[in-house]
Amino acid sequence: MLIYNVKLNKKSIFKTALAIMLIICIGIGFVALYRVLASFESKDNNFINDSIPSSEVAQLTSENYTNVLKEVHDDLDTYVGQKISFSGYIYRISGFSADQFVLARDMDIGNKQTLIVGFLCSSEKAKDFEMYSWVNVTGEITKGYYNSSEMPILKITDIETCNKPENANVFPPDDEYVPTAVIY
């Protein structure tokens, strides 16, 4: 028969447990650091400098309208200088100057309800167009202010009357839209 006597020392147990926990924490720290650095490296390899607005005129459609509108409002500095073209109707509210209007579309929000959404536009020819008349515009996104809030303002370079499209209403932004600095 074999009998073995083990004497436990509270100090040595505490030191051993502390050392094991310290080794585990250091290991977790190294793994986290490796993953962070690896993610930066993979992003750098796939990096495309799209912070420079495209010189091409991006065509907005009923399908991408609210996604683009939301993205430009969320990240205005990236899109300043981008040229866009789209159609909508002239919408004015009190407080707009004679050269301002919203190039609007009605956004379906369900239960046969809609909201008016659009870009605030600025054009010397704005006064030549009646409220609710449909126009096609081309312009450049600039940074401006309305009621002390920073917002995108589309400086119109070309505006002309058009017919109301068949798919005049737009839908709320979706989660599948992938934003870039160039609107396609």
**Does 82 lie in the same domain as 11?**
no
- Quick check: is 64 in a domain? yes
- Quick check: is 11 in a domain? yes
Neighbouring-strand partners of residue 121: 101, 154
- Quick check: is 169 in a domain? no
CATH number at residue 155: 2.40.50.140
Tally of structural domains, the chain: 2
Q: Which two tokens stand for residue 124?
A: 């010397």
> What is the Cα–Cα distance from 142 to 125, expressed in whole angstroms?
18
The residue ranking higher by pLDDT, 175 or 83, is 83
pTM, two decimals, is: 0.65
**Does 33 lie in the same domain as 70?**
no
| Percentage of the chain lying above the pLDDT 90 cut | 38
> What is the Cα–Cα distance from 66 to 184, expressed in whole angstroms?
13
Residue 146 pLDDT class (50, 70, 90 cuts): confident
> For the residues 18-34, what does the mean pLDDT come to?
91
Residue 42 is predicted with a pLDDT of 54
Residue 23 pLDDT class (50, 70, 90 cuts): very high
**Does 151 lie in the same domain as 78?**
yes
User: For residue 87, is pLDDT > 60?
Assistant: yes
- Quick check: is 167 in a domain? no
**Does 141 lie in the same domain as 84?**
yes
**Does 79 lie in the same domain as 36?**
no
- Quick check: is 166 in a domain? no
**Checking DSSP bridges between strand 134-146 and strand 100-110, what pairing results, if any?**
unpaired
| Percentage of the chain lying above the pLDDT 70 cut | 82
User: For residue 52, is pLDDT > 70?
Assistant: no
Residue 48 pLDDT class (50, 70, 90 cuts): very low
**Does 114 lie in the same domain as 38?**
no
7 alpha carbon, distance to own chain's centre: 65
User: For residue 184, is pLDDT > 70?
Assistant: no
User: Strand, coil or helix: what is 69?
Assistant: helix
**Checking DSSP bridges between strand 134-146 and strand 149-161, what pairing results, if any?**
antiparallel
Q: Which two tokens stand for residue 47?
A: 């990096």
Find the domain containing 141 and state its range.
57-161
**Does 18 lie in the same domain as 75?**
no
User: Strand, coil or helix: what is 19?
Assistant: helix
**Does 157 lie in the same domain as 134?**
yes
> Is the distance from CB of 87 to CB of 164 less than 8 angstroms?
no
- Quick check: is 113 in a domain? yes
**Does 85 lie in the same domain as 30?**
no
> Is the distance from CB of 89 to CB of 134 less than 8 angstroms?
yes
> What is the Cα–Cα distance from 109 to 116, expressed in whole angstroms?
10
> For the residues 15-33, what does the mean pLDDT come to?
90
**Does 67 lie in the same domain as 156?**
yes
Q: CA torsion angle for 115, 117, 121, 124 (degrees, to 10)?
A: -30
Q: How many residues does the chain have?
A: 184
- Quick check: is 142 in a domain? yes
**Does 149 lie in the same domain as 117?**
yes
Degrees, nearest 5: CA angle 126-131-134? 80
> What is the Cα–Cα distance from 64 to 84, expressed in whole angstroms?
12
- Quick check: is 35 in a domain? yes
The residue ranking higher by pLDDT, 141 or 51, is 141
Neighbouring-strand partners of residue 160: 136
> pLDDT tens, 149-168?
899 999 999 999 999 988 88
**Does 155 lie in the same domain as 70?**
yes
